[in-house]
Structure 1
Amino acid sequence: MEVIYLLVILWYGGLFFQTFFLHRYAAHQTFYMSKTAEKVTYILTWLFQGSNYLSAYGYGVMHRMHHAYADTEKDPHSPKFDENVLKMMWRTKNVYQDINQQRIEVDEKFTKNVPQWLAFDRIASSRISRVIWTLLYVLFFLQFATAWWQWLFLPVIILMAPIHGVIINWYAHIYGYVNFKVKDTSKNLLPFDFLMMGEAYHNNHHKYGGRANFGVRWHEFDPTYFIMRILNRLGVIKLI
């Protein structure tokens, strides 16, 4: 059972910091936080994402590009212009790395006010960090896995952030329902988002990109926004 507990903790922990910090803060700035709180959140993101840590700067810039160029040839990830999931993942990886390593020129509108902690990202994004996290996961499985099928969860843990990305950037542009007419193929993947902490309300988000609450209809409960309201009341963040 320990392996299942780890999977659930890392799935929802990593997902929370992806949607809360990388998406709603770095990319869309739907709330404010102090520089101290920002740095603590960087560290927590690394602890929960581990081997698949994503830079707030790289993610934030790339996601802004996705909104600006959704379902066009300039979109970093689109089922419309990628033949399959693997090709989309590979292209997304290349764009993300090009942004982080400043190999491409990026329009200022995509980089404005996106948080960046270069010294920390050099450590958290390094191959050494990713290898160490992977070894820690393997050691955990060696200690606690009690059946062969539990080892099937190991690659999911190692590649969890890309898997989260695939669910939304591929499947939420193909399957689901639409609340709003937009210029792209974004859809709400789930009517009640128990899996992606609000990220599955993708059509809503493409309609209202700067809205902190991704849910719109009565049944579209957004768990991340609920937590954000608590953090706002405690003074940790300030919702816009």
Structure 2
Amino acid sequence: MTIIIFVLVLWYGGLFFQSFFLHRYAAHQVFTMSKTMERITFILTWFFQGASYLSAYGYGIMHRMHHAYTDTEKDPHSPSHDDNLFAMMWKTKTIYQDINEQKIAVDARFTKNVPQWKSFDAFASSRFSRILWITFYILFFVAFATSWWQWLLLPITFLMAPIHGVIINWFGHIYGYVNFKMKNTSKNLFHFDFLMMGEGYHNNHHKYASSPNFGVKWHEIDMTYVIMKLLNFFGVIKLKVISK
């Protein structure tokens, strides 16, 4: 039971900060927060994503490119132009690294106000940091695993962020339903998004990219947005007013 709880904490903790910080803040800037809170959120993102930590700078720019070039050959990740999900993941990884390492020219519209903490990203993305987290995960499993099948969950802890990404960027463009007819293949994966905390309402998000709430219909409860409303109420963040 301890292992299941541990994996769930990593799953939903890492997912929340990917959705809240990397996606809705870095890429779309649907809310503002103080510089101190931004730095704290960088650290919390590293803590929960661990071995699969993603830079807000690289993620933010790449996601803006995804919206600008959805389902075209310039899209950093699209089932329409990648043979399989592994090919898409590799292409995404390469583009993400090239952005972070400034190996490719990026249009200024994609970099505007994207948060960046170079020194922290250099550490959090380093091989040392990733090996440190992987070692911790293995030792945790050694200490608390009570059955052989629980070890099958260990690779998930290493690759949590890429798994989250592929669920939305691959399956969210193939399976599901649509509320809005778009010039792209985006779909809503779930009528109630219990798995991805609102990220699964991908068709809604492509329709209203600047909205902090990815849910549209009454049953489309966006748990990340619910938490953001609480953070806004307590003054931790300030949600922007967006009319649909």
TM-score calculated relative to the size of structure 2: 0.98
Aligned residue identity for 2:165: G
Distance 1:163 1:229 in 2: 27
Unpaired segments ≥5 residues, structure 2? none
Structure 1 residue 191, shift from structure 2 partner: 0.5
Equivalent residue number for residue 212 of structure 1: 212
Distance 2:146 2:5 in 1: 13
Unpaired segments ≥5 residues, structure 1? none
Work out whether 1:107 is the aligned partner of 2:118: no
Structure 1 residue 2, shift from structure 2 partner: 1.0
What RMSD, in angstroms, separates the aligned Cα atoms of the two structures?
Answer: 0.4
Structure 1 residue 182, shift from structure 2 partner: 1.2
SS at structure 1 position matched to 2:172: helix
Q: Deviations over 1:66-111 (max 9, x none)?
A: 0000001000000000000100000000000000000000000000
Q: Give the 5 Å matches for 1:216-231.
A: 216-231=216-231
Equivalent residue number for residue 130 of structure 2: 130
Q: Deviations over 1:206-234 (max 9, x none)?
A: 00000000000011000010000000010
Q: Deviations over 1:184-206 (max 9, x none)?
A: 10000000000000000000000
Distance 1:51 1:211 in 2: 30
Equivalent residue number for residue 57 of structure 1: 57
SS at structure 2 position matched to 1:161: helix
Aligned residue identity for 1:102: Q
Equivalent residue number for residue 70 of structure 2: 70
Aligned residue identity for 1:67: H
Percent identity between the two aligned chains: 70
Equivalent residue number for residue 25 of structure 1: 25
Structure 1 residue 157, shift from structure 2 partner: 0.8
Distance 1:130 1:183 in 2: 39
SS at structure 1 position matched to 2:83: coil
Give the aligned length: 240
SS at structure 2 position matched to 1:23: helix
Runs of 4+ in 1 over 3 A off after TM superposition: none
Equivalent residue number for residue 202 of structure 2: 202
